[in-house]
Structure 1
Amino acid sequence: MDCIFCKIVTGEIPAKLLKETDHSISFLDAFPLAKGHILVIPKNHHQKIQDLTENENSDLFSLVHTMISKVDSISGSTLLAVHNGKDAGQEVPHVHVHLVPRSADDSAGAIHSMFNGTLKLSDSEIEEMYNKLKI
């Protein structure tokens, strides 16, 4: 497989590994958006979060929970980001969670700054989305 993250997991590509668990690893991002930007990935190749097994999912987000305290100690705030699919901005088709230290002067904004305004949905559109998403 020609996946950069799989090659990091196998050691074929070097990385600054921070912590490893049974199913996940965390390491410094090679192209950081801020000092202390890290990635947390599952060891097994999965493109989307919903493809993870329950054990892999629990392990991944347990490691995120552990590492976010370390990242948060850098600036006091941390952006947690997952691009779940190509249209969501996922550039490497292997699940990965970004932990990016944030500060008031970093020129990045809130999630709403990524979009051109909010949607105005009709009551029927809201009801349709509600029915599709409720469990």
Structure 2
Amino acid sequence: MPAEGCLFCAITTGERPGEVVFSDEVATAFLDIRPVFKGHVLVAPAAHAETLTDLPPTSVGPFFQRVQAVAAAVERGLGAGGTFVAMNNRISQSVPHLHVHVVPRNRKDGLRGFFWPRTAYDGPGEAASYALRVREALTPFSPSARTS
């Protein structure tokens, strides 16, 4: 169901223009208007979901099958050596509608790893404490569990 005022919902329903490369009942894929490289595609679920944790568990597999297909098509169609596939949840998410970036990549294209500085743990103890906190948040694991 489209959300009122959502740009990506409007592109999905055809109310707003977009250079759509794929669309079905699960997802719509369209060119990013500010691409990292030409051919940069956004894949958004057809039904409005703000973040990955808002996407119904039964929709996750079908949605990522479309992401996988678009990544393969970007490589084949553009002769790219690979793709960078990424998503933001809330922070740095310019449109509050879940979307996955599929960016064509080639060796020596100028894109350097991640777009932010990397850090290091102070040692094995600190790494273990972070791992424990995440493990505890997953237990007991339930695909229907949501974070807020």
Fold match (TM-score > 0.5): yes
Q: Tell me by how many angstroms 1:3 deviates.
A: 1.5
- State the TM-score, normalizing by the size of structure 1: 0.87
Work out the CA distance in 2 between the residues paired with 1:47 and 1:132. 25
Q: Structure 2 vs 1, CA of residues 59 and 21 (structure 1 numbering), >3 Å: closer, same or farther?
A: farther
Greater helix content? 1
The residue that corresponds to 2:127 in the other structure is 126
Work out the CA distance in 2 between the residues paired with 1:13 and 1:47. 19
1:6 is aligned, of 2, 6, 9, to: 9
Work out the CA distance in 1 between the residues paired with 2:122 and 2:25. 44
Structure 2: 5+ residue stretches without partners = 139-148
Question: Identity rate of aligned residues, in percent?
Answer: 31
Q: Structure 2 vs 1, CA of residues 124 and 105 (structure 1 numbering), >3 Å: closer, same or farther?
A: closer
The residue that corresponds to 2:74 in the other structure is 71
Work out the CA distance in 1 between the residues paired with 2:116 and 2:20. 30
Say whether the 8 Å CA contact 1:41–1:95 is kept in structure 2.
yes
1:85 is aligned, of 84, 90, 97, to: 90
Q: Tell me by how many angstroms 1:13 deviates.
A: 0.6
1:125 maps to a residue whose letter is E
Q: Tell me by how many angstroms 1:63 deviates.
A: 0.2
> SS of the counterpart of 1:114?
coil
- State the TM-score, normalizing by the size of structure 2: 0.80
Say whether the 8 Å CA contact 1:24–1:56 is kept in structure 2.
no
Q: Tell me by how many angstroms 1:29 deviates.
A: 1.5
Return 18-27 or 37-46, whichever deviates more. 18-27
Aligned length: 131
Q: Tell me by how many angstroms 1:127 deviates.
A: 2.3
Q: Deviations over 1:94-120 (max 9, x none)?
A: 100000011233221102x521x4223
> SS of the counterpart of 2:112?
coil
In the alignment, structure 1 residue 48 sits paired with structure 2 residue 51: yes
The residue that corresponds to 1:30 in the other structure is 33
Structure 1: 5+ residue stretches without partners = none
Work out the CA distance in 2 between the residues paired with 1:39 and 1:84. 14
Work out the CA distance in 2 between the residues paired with 1:92 and 1:30. 12
2:83 maps to a residue whose letter is T
Q: Tell me by how many angstroms 1:30 deviates.
A: 1.8
Say whether the 8 Å CA contact 1:22–1:59 is kept in structure 2.
no
